[in-house]
Amino acid sequence: MMPVLRRVLAVAATTFREAIRNRVLYVLVAFALALMAFSWVLGELSLHEEVRVITDLGLAGISLFGVVIALFLGVNLLRKELDEKTVYFLVPKPLERWEFIVGKYLGLVATLTVLVVAMSAILEALILARGGMFTWVLIRAEVLVLLELVTLTAVSLFFSGFSSPYLSAMFAGGLWVAGRSVPELEALAAGKLAGTPAGHLVEAVVAVLPDFHLFYISGANLGGGVVTVHEAFVSWGYVAETAVYGLSYAAVAVALAAALFSRRDLT
């Protein structure tokens, strides 16, 4: 077990170093920080709502640019290794293909964690500078955003196992949009399409879709009431339940990606 863990962690560490050195990430993070700075300007223009504006736009920026980064890293992971032919040197070594995939994924998760923590720290600093207070509510919201990115990266990795980076980004991005719209799809299936073949089809699709709506819920109606990072938000229990769901979905997606890669002809 220990040799397997060492090999997986070695691949993860290498992936993390490569991802951190990627200049595209710095550009995307710079845009996210620019959005936070813009929220500061809008806060100045608002009437005693500076902290609310900075919080909302800052959290949205972390989520939006995090999604772009997760898609970029996930869909280009295997393609880069194949194009540069580095995988041909790694796979013949005492390294199983599934270990390679799992290590790569863990490296991306570590990268996303560092980026989200860094952007979250800057957002917290902006809020404190405007006279706001540190709250665990915002931390819970940021943890949910990170869980969403971890799940999306696994989905992107799955598509990259059998498609080009462009198509993989289209598929994963489309799945993310659909996953964010799960409540609307459920309402459609239970409403206008109730009892019809189309309604049953929508229900089947919703059953297998990753429910990304669970991760970004500020301002949404949940359990009969609106939850928001400014007032009543979800508990750590909800975060834990969502973490189990997201990590389970991610594990299945990574397992499928590993299975596809194991059958891939690299000769």
Q: What is the b/e burial string over 135-152, where b = at least 16 CB atoms within 10 angstroms of the residue's CB?
A: eebbebbbbbbbbbbbbb
pLDDT in tens, 159-207: 987 778 888 889 999 999 999 998 888 888 888 888 888 888 988 988 8
Residue 267 lies in a domain: no
Residue 40 lies in a domain: yes
10 Å Cβ neighbour count for 264? 15
Domain that holds residue 250: 2-262
Which residue matches tokens 């007032």? 231
Domain count within the chain: 1
222: three-class secondary structure by DSSP? strand
Query: How far apart (Å, rounded) are the C-alpha atoms in residues 124 and 168?
Result: 34
CA distances in angstroms from 178 to 93, 104, 131, 206, 211, listed in the order given:
40, 26, 38, 9, 8
Contact between residue 44 and residue 52 where contact means Cβ atoms under 8 Å apart: no
DSSP 159-213: HHTTS-HHHHHHHHHHHHHHHHTHHHHHHHHHTTTTTSHHHHHHHHHHHHS--GG
The per-residue pLDDT for 119 is: 86
CA distances in angstroms from 29 to 112, 136, 159, listed in the order given:
11, 24, 24
CA distances in angstroms from 34 to 38, 45, 65, 78, 225, listed in the order given:
6, 17, 11, 31, 33
pLDDT values of the chain reduced to their tens digit, one per residue, 267 residues: 578 888 888 889 888 888 888 776 777 777 777 777 777 666 666 666 778 888 888 888 889 888 988 998 888 776 766 666 565 555 556 778 888 889 999 999 999 999 899 888 888 888 888 777 888 899 999 999 999 999 999 999 999 877 788 888 899 999 999 999 988 888 888 888 888 888 889 889 888 999 999 998 876 777 667 788 777 788 899 999 999 999 999 999 999 998 888 776 655
Would you say the pTM of this structure is higher than 0.85?
Answer: yes
Residue 47 lies in a domain: yes
